[in-house]
Structure 1
Amino acid sequence: MAIEYEPIKGYYGDESEQEKHLRNNKNRNAADDNIDDGEKRIGKVALRISEPAIVNKDEEGPLIPISNSSRLRHQQQPQHPPPQQAQRLVSLDVFRGLTIVLMILVDDVGGLFPAINHSPWNGLTLADYVMPFFLFIVGVSLGLTYKRVSCKATATRKTILRALKLLILGLFLQGGFFHGVNHLTFGVDISQMRLMGILQRIAIAYLVAAICEIWLKDDDHVTSELTLLRKYRYQWVVALVLTIIYISLLYGLFVPDWEYQLPMATSSSAPRIFSVKCGVRGDTGPACNVVGMIDRKILGIQHLYSKPVFVRTKQCSINSPDYGPLPSDAPSWCQAPFDPEGLLSSVMAIVTCLVGLHYGHIIVHFKDHRDRLRLWLIPSSALLVLGLALDFSGMHINKALYTFSYMCVTAGAAGLLFAGIYVLVG
């Protein structure tokens, strides 16, 4: 800023012509500065913002009015657009909200309308879409969250902690801590508590998919569909291996006879023991499937869900597909515990999460809306057709077992719905 000194009175008569010229110029500049005092103050603020490197504010430059100099310097500064804030993907939020609404609907109305409640065994109802939709959303979110990872070890540690929090929360909510609320008998019996559940399954799928996203991707630059597959080829290998393991175990393991017991109404009475005849391989019925056998062997039958969906089948309920009394000729397995979120069935749940992760990759690497829609619709349609074909050929769609056909149909439906929401809201 130019520093102006007030001249001493009586000195003007002795000054030279050159000094008079300088004094007149200085006075004209001072008059210009006084024209608009508000503009001068705005100019000072603009100058301070545009030139933050000035150390001493009293040394601002030549004898130019501050308002004019600020305009000049502001014009000389390159115009940089303000940094854009990270924007949420609206279609993903809408999809998540619709899934929550669907969950509330089937939980509250499913008892009144059994047709929208979970299928008793084979088949697909409205309620059976909730779990795979949530897993699909988790996968898409992981693709956006871990698109850039500065430190893989730190990201892995945070991922493990989040998964542990979900597991602990699931054990607390679904492990039996609220089993006696209606009878005012709180607490939990550790020997009988349920170990698996919805949140536990989501935690497992989240952990595996996040680890894959952090560690199993190359640094290749994606320019086409082929380079996209090449960049994430190891993640597809994991999905393929998990699918092969699930199908091999489901149809390859031998299921022997087994038994379970139920406590009687009075504590003094001995528990009643039921024997289930199996001795088969590749069975996908409620009694002799490998999914239930693995859970009974590893988790223990006392830690499984005591009210499975197959109690609403025709063999186990006279009001099927609703709950009801047992028929007189009900088979012995009707009252057996079975966990719909078991260990082996969670393997295919991980694959659903990995499918959603692929859709998140498309969002990250392709910015054109038509490219995104094309790359979403093609695999979604293929999965849907494949799942229906497998169901027609004998690999039934089954939510309790989380069969491969069920994974294909629900993941394909999730992809189509997500693409439709993206068209509507972006």
Structure 2
Amino acid sequence: MSTLIDVAEGAADSEHQQRTPLLHHPSSPSPPQREPRDEAEPEITPSTSPGDGRDTRSVSSDQRLASLDVFRGLTVALMILVDDAGGAFPAINHSPWFGVTLADFVMPFFLFGVGVSVGLVFKKISSKSLATRKVVTRTVKLFLLGLLLQGGYFHGRNQLTYGVDVGKIRWLGVLQRISIGYFLASISEIWLVRNISVDSTLAFVRKYYIQWIMAILLCALYLCMVYGLYVPDWEYQAVRMSFSSNQSLQNVYCKTRGSLEPPCNSVGFVDRYLLGESHLYQHPVYRRSKECSVNSPDYGPLPPNSPGWCLAPFDPEGVLSSLMAAVTCFVGLQYGHILVHVKSRGQRILFWSMFSLPLLMSGYVLELLGIPLCKPLYTVSYMCITAGVSGLLLTLVFYLVDVKHWRMPTVFLQWMGMNALIIYALGACELFPAAMQGFYWRSPENNLVDSTERLLQAAFHSKKWGTLVFVMLEMLFWGCVAGFLHMKRLYVRL
């Protein structure tokens, strides 16, 4: 998460070539070479040379790109919103399987921001081997942090217990998926970029076309596996949702290939084979589907004659779907390249729009051709639409924050984006609420967190609207925490 955690920082002290503007004027002087910047100052765009006839108000290389901080802060805030208010408002919660809701845009926003940041921090590479070692180190750190936060050790809010059976630890999760995308995008930026000057659109394509080929190959591999891999019948130990927690052996009949339904898709088959059933996410979103919940699209008891796969584990951040998710990082990478090479703000907005709109259209066309939108499988149509929306959102934020200078209305989001790792770990992963709930009066229900939420629900005479206000106050709280850390110049990074 360069957007989420600035994992791409620190590689800015690498690259022997100076990238020139995409629309370069022959008579304009070359930008001066600059010394490597400290890790505390990532996501910097190059300065505009005076007298080149372009917009001299473009973001200086001595400033952070505020819009990217706002984008990452908005993403973290959105994650808190959908995670904590999604139960009260199922319409914004993750789609049970097919379709897209507000929550289903969070992961692509993270991945897209990673790509943008990678494209910015690898402007200069003095030593490819050194840059590669730094990327590998950050990838491992990010993966291990995700394993700690989402592997099962921290049980989160309303479950005041800690620890995990290593035989059931969840190997993959949000941070692990982002580490995979970050690694692939960074390695491609280090090794697959041609050492040529960019003075035209054609030169831009020649410089980065190998990265595009790699992204296409990842899509091709994903499609071949999803539609070509044979899925046999399988069985699993089902834990019934009852106080007895009885286990029973359930059979799932498949013997098919090319299925995108919950029980018989290749994504789940690969994860069961490589990771093991006990190491997958045990509460998949399809338990909220009509086939598996009487309260659909919310969780609920199993309907009569529900299919046997309703209690089967499935990891929404699995191995195969992470390949397609990495393509979103490659898309964001090209937006970062435009930031580096294009100096005019208006031209940046134009080029970003020219990338975003065709992506959106491609996603809708693929859906019409029979490839449905599905976040748990990270289908190609889902990737195209969410990446296109990510690009349009960044374009809008860039226009409002860096062109129109709407800084005050977005200052809380900017602070959260500048310290997104600590907000994600303590807020989105519920470490802080769970710690606060550890202090209670006589019974676990009488704690500050739950008591505040119940008070707001009573004040608004509505459980869902009281919950929404509670979540809004929660986001305001984390914005203030991030602002305090910013004033103290404290930034938590890997």
- TM-score of the pair, normalised by structure 2: 0.67
Q: Is the CA contact (8 Å cut-off) linking 1:308 and 1:339 kept in structure 2? A: yes
Give distance in 2, aligned partners of 1:382 and 1:202. 25
- Superposed, 1:123-272 pairs within 5 Å as 123-179=99-155, 185-263=161-239, 271-272=247-248
Secondary structure of 1:191's aligned partner = helix
Cα deviation digits, residues 33-71 of structure 1 (max 9, x gap): xxxxxxxxxxxxxxxxxxxxxxxxxxxxxxxxxxxxxxx
**Structure with higher RCO (Cα < 8 A, 6+ apart):** 2
CA distance in 2, matches of 1:302, 1:287: 16
User: How far off its partner does 1:171 sit?
Assistant: 0.7
Question: Larger Cα Rg: Structure 1 or Structure 2?
Answer: 1
CA deviation vs aligned residue, 1:246-275 (integer Å, no higher than 9, x gap): 011101111110000135799999831000
Structure 2 unaligned spans of 5+: 1-59, 403-494
The reply on whether 1:283 has 2:243 as its aligned counterpart is no
Q: Measure, in 2, the Cα distance between the counterparts of 1:266 and 1:413.
A: 41
1:107 equivalent in alignment to 2:83: yes
Please state how far the C-alpha of 1:192 moved relative to its aligned partner: 0.7
Matched residues, number = 343
Query: What CA distance in whole angstroms lies between the structure 2 residues aligned with 1:369 and 1:417?
Result: 15
TM-score, length of structure 1 as denominator length: 0.78
Cα distance in 1 for partners of 2:228, 2:268 equals 14
Identity in percent: 57
Please give the root-mean-square deviation of Cα atoms over the aligned residues, in Å: 1.8
Distance 1:147 1:284 in 2: 40
Deviation at 1:379, TM superposition (A): 1.5
Q: What secondary structure does 2:185 align onto?
A: helix
Residues 245/183 of structure 1: CA separation in 2 closer, same or farther (3 Å cut): closer
2:66 aligned partner: 90
Query: Cα distance, 1:370 vs. partner?
Result: 2.3
Question: 1:232 is paired with a residue of what secondary structure?
Answer: helix
- Per the TM alignment, residue 179 of structure 1 is displaced from its structure 2 partner at its CA by 3.4
Report the residue type matching 1:338 in the other structure: F
Shift of 1:329: 1.1
Provide structure 1 residue ranges, at least 5 long, that are not aligned to the other structure: 1-83
**Which structure 2 residues correspond to residues 274-313 of structure 1 after superposition, within 5 A?**
274-313=250-289
Aligned partners of 1:180 and 1:187 also within 8 Å: no
Q: Please tell me the residue identity of whatever aligns with 1:103.
A: M
Tell me which residue corresponds to 1:362.
338
Structure 1 residue ranges, 4+ long, deviating more than 6 angstroms after superposition: 264-270
Distance 1:266 1:88 in 2: 52
Contact kept in structure 2, 1:349 and 1:407, CA below 8 Å: yes
Cα distance change of structure 1 residues 223 and 153 upon mapping to structure 2, 3 Å threshold: same
The residue matched to 1:372 in structure 2 has which SS? helix
1:337, CA displacement in angstroms? Answer: 0.2
Q: Which region of structure 1 is more displaced relative to structure 2, 183-192 or 322-331?
A: 183-192
1:325 aligns with 2:301: yes
**1:322-377 C-alpha deviation (Å, 9 max, x unpaired):** 11100011000000000000000000111000000000000101111222112111
